[in-house]
Amino acid sequence: MSLIFLSQASGQDSIYMLYEGDSIEIAQGYYLNVVDIDTYYGEVTFSLKTNSGEVLYQTYNLESEFYYDDSYLTLSFDIENIFTGISGNVVKISNVHQYVIPINYGTISIYTDPAYVDVYLDGEYQGVNTGYLWIDNLNEGYYEVELVKDGFYTITEDIYVYAGETTYYTKYLTTVGETAISDDYYVDNGDEDFFVTILSLIFLATIILVPLFFLLILVLLLRKKKSRKTASKSEPLPAASQPPAPPASQLKSGEEPIEVKSAFEYPGAVIHYKVKVENHGPEPIGDIKFTLFVPDVFFMKDRKKSISMLESGEGKTVTFEIRPTGECGDCIVSGSIDYYDYSTKKRIKMDMENKMVSIVCPVLTRKETDEKAWREAVNKMIIAEEDSKDLEIPAENLFDISTRVLKDMNLFMLQPETTSTPQLFTGVARFYAKGATGLQYAAYVEVVGKRKSRLILKAWAEKQEALIGFYHKMLEEIEKRTDIKIFVDDSITQYNIRSTTIKDSVVQRSNIETGMDAGGRTCPNCGRAVEEGEKFCMECGEKLQ
């Protein structure tokens, strides 16, 4: 790490010089990384990582402000200058303000062998354990940990988490059909302790078993003598009929052979619908097929999932990915499960419990605010974010279209920040509004580029149902004006036009379709000759047909 501290300047708390590739520990478990410094465009890319993963990855312009805030750390500073130094590219930062809240939460560190295990905490899905999985910000108390992996027995256990401490939880999963491996700790004291233990057990068994042996012989002799005296007086009784013992694996009355659980998750701009099946029957079930039915207002290409086999006592989970459109209202998601039951030698079909998804499109009212109040508000709300690839739209036109759409939705726009040079245009706009019930809404639009452009769109709301509807309503209105039509290419990892990739809550959108040939024509507005492949006039910004 290269960190140079300079003397305080007038009106500034501190000045630092950071080199490209530096990694600085800001607070316990928080590392600020200088990923890239672009002196040509005057941009610097920072990432902020914790033990749980990356929490921020963003590019900033010269003279802009870095700001990050969560329940533990608040960090901000000004990007004052970007230049090439003796040892490489340098970014000069100033007005560094940092506030760390004392730790009053506990942490669980989960390690499993093998890895790639689905982890649930109190029934909530936490992710896949690829090594050590850290679960932070937990209040002190008991938590139920559930470990699920195909082909292995499911482990469920309660553990206690202490405030301000890390609880390390290690488990070795057992393949279905094998003997379980104990995870208890032990101390190896060598062969001497082993032989002493064996001799002690033999001595103890001798003391206990020898008297019991003589006592048993005495009881048998007395019973035999008594039976001889009463044999002539008593008539033999007929043997009582004993009912057949029920099989050990027989189900209890009223218990279903399989149990189905389902729940929604909202990782960002999409909805995850998870369905878990547990086999409580005495025999395996196989060829399990899941079919999901959703209204036409959702995008979902892969409506079917399957599991090959579930042994007795085993459970597995499948995940459907659903992307809403701009439609609003309450929608019912239903489905069915079809499987082969080895105990009855028949296929069984059953319906899944209907689940209601509420997509709320808010009625907004403009509410004036300033940037400080705007930042304080969004820190308390839920966020959805998308970042496009290069679009065949001039940056100035795309920025005007996007901001006009949000203003037409009755959001108040703070003073926009724009920079325009012959090589690059950047524009940032922030929006704020309130709903009819008093809930807060906010949005952020950033456009970077010149002849081609990149759009970053963020939305905030106080409730997840409102965020989904608010975000997709903005997206739908922008798509109407840019002819971008989204269709599902792969229901798990991709929504695209030609090439679009989703990673968690960040969606990559490709350029609009390029099948139209505009060569040899002129702009209908200004008469300028149109180059081949242009979608918008580079002179006046008119959309080309």
346/369 same-domain check = no
CA dihedral 301, 307, 308, 313 (to 10 degrees): 180
For the segment 527-535, the average pLDDT, to the nearest whole number, is 73
Residue 227 pLDDT: 60
pLDDT at 303 over 90: no
Last residue in a domain, options 77, 100, 123: 100
For the segment 212-239, the average pLDDT, to the nearest whole number, is 65
289/271 same-domain check = yes
**30-39, 127-136, 319-328, 352-361 — which one is most confidently predicted on average?**
30-39
Give the single-character DSSP code of 195. Answer: H
Check which CATH number belongs to the domain holding 319 and give it.
Answer: 2.60.40.10
161 belongs to a structural domain = yes
- Surface-to-core class of residue 75, CB atoms within 10 Å of its CB (0-12 exposed, 13-18 middle, 19+ buried): buried
Residue 234 CB partners (closer than 8 Å, separation 6+) = none
116/168 same-domain check = yes
Alpha helical stretches, state H, 338-382 = 371-378
Residue 170 pLDDT: 92
347/262 same-domain check = yes
* Distance in angstroms (rounded) separating the CA atoms of residues 268 and 387: 12
Q: How far is CA 267 from CA 125, 148, 255, 330, 355, in A?
A: 11, 20, 34, 20, 18
- 194 or 441, higher pLDDT: 441
User: What is the percent of the chain where pLDDT is above 90?
Assistant: 32
188 belongs to a structural domain = no
Strands 271-279 and 258-265: antiparallel
240 belongs to a structural domain = no
**Among candidate residues 323, 352, 320, 348, the one with its CA nearest the CA of residue 335:** 352
User: What is the percent of the chain where pLDDT is above 70?
Assistant: 76
276/350 same-domain check = yes
What's the domain range around 335?
Answer: 258-358
Comparing 27-31, 195-199, 311-315, 366-370, the range with the smallest average pLDDT is 195-199
375/414 same-domain check = yes
418/476 same-domain check = yes
Structure confidence by residue, pLDDT tens digits, 105-155: 789 999 998 999 999 999 999 999 887 888 988 888 899 999 999 999 999
Structure confidence by residue, pLDDT tens digits, 355-395: 887 777 778 889 999 999 999 999 988 888 777 667 788 88
For the segment 81-96, the average pLDDT, to the nearest whole number, is 89
* Distance in angstroms (rounded) separating the CA atoms of residues 454 and 543: 18
Give the single-character DSSP code of 206. Answer: H
Tally the domains of the chain: 4
Mean pLDDT of the chain: 78
Kindly list the strands in the beta sheet with 106-113, ordered across the sheet, starting from the edge strand earlier in the chain: 132-138, 106-113, 166-172
CA angle 478, 481, 482 (to 5 degrees): 85
216 belongs to a structural domain = no
Residue 502 pLDDT: 29
Alpha helical stretches, state H, 18-150 = none
Residue 451 pLDDT: 86
Structure confidence by residue, pLDDT tens digits, 466-525: 787 888 888 888 888 877 553 333 332 223 222 223 233 333 332 323 333 334 678 887
CB 193 within 8 A of CB 199: no
* Distance in angstroms (rounded) separating the CA atoms of residues 277 and 259: 6
Check which CATH number belongs to the domain holding 372 and give it.
Answer: 3.30.310.10
112 belongs to a structural domain = yes
Check which CATH number belongs to the domain holding 151 and give it.
Answer: 2.60.40.1120
**25-34, 60-69, 213-222, 473-482 — which one is most confidently predicted on average?**
60-69
Residue 425 pLDDT: 94
Structure confidence by residue, pLDDT tens digits, 154-182: 999 999 998 878 899 999 989 987 655 54
- 109 or 102, higher pLDDT: 109
CA dihedral 282, 283, 284, 288 (to 10 degrees): -90
- 435 or 7, higher pLDDT: 435
19/116 same-domain check = no
333/382 same-domain check = no
Task: Give DSSP secondary structure letters for 248-288.
Answer: TTPPPTT--SEEEEEEEE--SSSEEEEEEEEE-SSS-EEEE
* Distance in angstroms (rounded) separating the CA atoms of residues 215 and 61: 93
C-alpha count within 13 angstroms, C-beta hemisphere, residue 395: 25
Residue 539 pLDDT: 62
Last residue in a domain, options 47, 80, 100: 100
pLDDT at 328 over 60: yes
For the segment 449-473, the average pLDDT, to the nearest whole number, is 84
Q: How far is CA 465 from CA 120, 354, 356, 503, in A?
A: 23, 18, 11, 21
For the segment 10-21, the average pLDDT, to the nearest whole number, is 72
473/374 same-domain check = yes
195 belongs to a structural domain = no
- Surface-to-core class of residue 322, CB atoms within 10 Å of its CB (0-12 exposed, 13-18 middle, 19+ buried): buried
472/424 same-domain check = yes
Comparing 61-65, 73-77, 232-236, 391-395, the range with the smallest average pLDDT is 232-236
pLDDT at 98 over 70: yes
CB 94 within 8 A of CB 14: yes
- 501 or 311, higher pLDDT: 311
538 belongs to a structural domain = no
Give the single-character DSSP code of 318. Answer: E
368/466 same-domain check = yes
